[in-house]
Amino acid sequence: MTRYFTKDHEWIAVEGDTATVGITDYAQGQLGDITFVELPADGAALTKGASASVVDSVKAASDVYAPVSGTVGAANAALADAPELVNTDPEGEGWLWTMTLADAGELAGLMDEASYQDYIAGL
Amino acid sequence: MSDTYNNSDNNSDAEHAIDVADDFVEIATDVLPLDAWHRARGGRMVEFAGYWMPVQYNGEGGGIIAEHGWTRSHAGLFDVSHMGQLEVSGDGSAAALEALLPIDLSTLKPGRQRYSLLLDEDGGVLDDLMLTNAAHHWYLVVNGATKWDDIAHMREHLPDAITLTHLDDDALLALQGPEAAQALARIGLVPMNDGWPAIEAMTFMQAGPFLWGDVPLRVSRSGYTGEDGYEISVPADHAVALADALCAQPEVKPIGLGARDSLRLEAGLPLYGHDLSPETDPVGADLAFAINKRRRTSGGFPGADRVLKLLAAGAPRQRVGLLLEGRQAAREGALVFAGQTEIGTLTSGGFSPTLERPIAMAFVDAAHTAPGTSLDIEVRGKRLPATVTPLPFVPHRYHRKGAAA
């Protein structure tokens, strides 16, 4: 499994042609207390860079963009009752949705973990 | 991921930086006396009203929900030094202020504070403010974002014999919460005036000068959270020492702007620039109590003709509270519907940490203001069901005169 990162602070963990998507620890720290997550519908078609989900914190609503194009497998149902999982375990239990990839070539434009750490260190 | 809310963090995301620059092209962001104090405590600084201010604190006990809860159960220290502190004095100053505000100063005794509104000639709200009778002068606290316009407006309209002083060498702290009185009393403040009440004996909306050692303070028992508490004006060069002395009390933690906003929203208190503007009138804003009794018959304040008519007939659009179903919050600007008809707009909205559900304030057509009315709020193309609810959402717990100690 390989994990990639976007400049908009999404992560995508890829295994074959399926993947799991969430927001990074840096992102949840910036957003603060998360109170609600609007998730994409199962089977929804996602376009790379388009809004796929909305994360509500006490102070703001923020779009989460699809890191790559594809089709939603399942959304994380646990977030309906426990949106704070995105704060406490953003890169684990606080995942947002799974998807199948339309074009694995789109991953080439994303950062690996080391590049992402360098990127946020410069913010 | 990107913020869609304008009061977000001071991150250096390029797009966000451009947004900030667009909003604040003219004036460089200013630094308040407690700036380094906040940063040393993990304050996450954001641009607000032209100043760097802490939106929340990092680390244990930090974060908007934790800070909000701490204030509701203990005592929170807020830096509100961005607000404008003004002194008005001179022969005829009462009449001069009454020409600008719908207040009756003949019923405001020395040592008492009152909420009032700076109105334009149409009765639109230029600002909301707190005014204290400080015996030989009037002391006003106005909003930070509007203070320069307020000062210009007052200088233009006050007679030359009246002196208006901007107390820009003073910081302003607010200590709010059920344990505020015991914490503030412990650091040892002495009333300057013989016979004036000590800190714990003050009641809601009492105000007076105190000495903390040899440092003069102006203290009022009031605030912007719905809780008991105080606002304390302190010379800027003593602000750090006072903040340290207060935070050394076990009841007290520093609280950021984020919780200040969620606390005031739960308390049903309007925020200027959001729930109030020159397009809002005092009656529709549910602030008719700020039109004092004598002024309802005598008038003589800016916009009196229109405001007195609205008092008699009711305002066409009125500020109401809305309780939302579910967990998704609706924000300022969201449209409100009754069936398919658009009947209003949200002016504030967010998640209530106390009620653990989203709440909002909106201006809606008068026909839809009865508590219990079912309405819908449009958020990102969806309709969220909501119910009109009396304000405040969370009961006020002020220390009122005659109440049990």
As its CATH architecture, domain B316-405 has: Beta Barrel (2.40)
Cross-chain Cβ contact A35/B55 below 8 Å:
no
Q: How much is the pLDDT for B7?
A: 38
Q: In terms of residue numbers, what domain contains A86? A: 2-104
Q: A22 near A11, Cβ under 8 Å? A: yes
- CA-nearest of B257, B243, B244, B191 to B221 is B191
B351 contacts chain A (CB < 8 A): yes
Place B207 in a pLDDT band, splitting at 50, 70 and 90.
Answer: very high
Q: How much is the pLDDT for B21?
A: 42
The Cα B263–Cα B80 span in angstroms is 14
Q: How much is the pLDDT for B1?
A: 59
Cross-chain Cβ contact A63/B353 below 8 Å:
no
Q: How much is the pLDDT for A60?
A: 87
Q: A32 near A46, Cβ under 8 Å? A: no
Q: How much is the pLDDT for B128?
A: 98
CATH top-level class of B14-82+169-266: alpha beta
Q: What is the CATH number of the domain that holds A50?
A: 2.40.50.100
Residues of A contacting chain B (CB within 8 angstroms): 8-10, 23, 27, 30-33, 35-36, 38, 54-65, 83, 123
B349 contacts chain A (CB < 8 A): no
B237 CA to centre of own chain: 24
As for how many domains chain A has, the answer is 1
The H-assigned helical ranges of A1-84 are 25-31
Write the ipTM: 0.88
Tens digit of pLDDT at every position of chain A (123 positions): 899 999 999 999 999 999 999 999 999 999 999 999 999 999 999 999 999 999 999 988 999 999 999 999 999 999 999 999 999 999 999 999 999 999 999 999 999 999 999 999 999
Q: B392: cis peptide before it, omega within 30°?
A: yes
**CB within 8 A of B281, min separation 6: which ones?**
B123, B124, B125, B303, B306, B307, B310, B315
In-domain check, residue A109 = no
Which sequence spans correspond to the domains of chain B?
Answer: 14-82+169-266, 316-405
In-domain check, residue A122 = no
The predicted model gives B75-97 an average pLDDT of 98
pLDDT in tens, B308-365: 999 999 999 999 999 999 999 999 999 999 999 999 999 999 999 999 999 999 999 9
Place B156 in a pLDDT band, splitting at 50, 70 and 90.
Answer: very high
By CA distance, what is A51's nearest residue in B?
A: B1
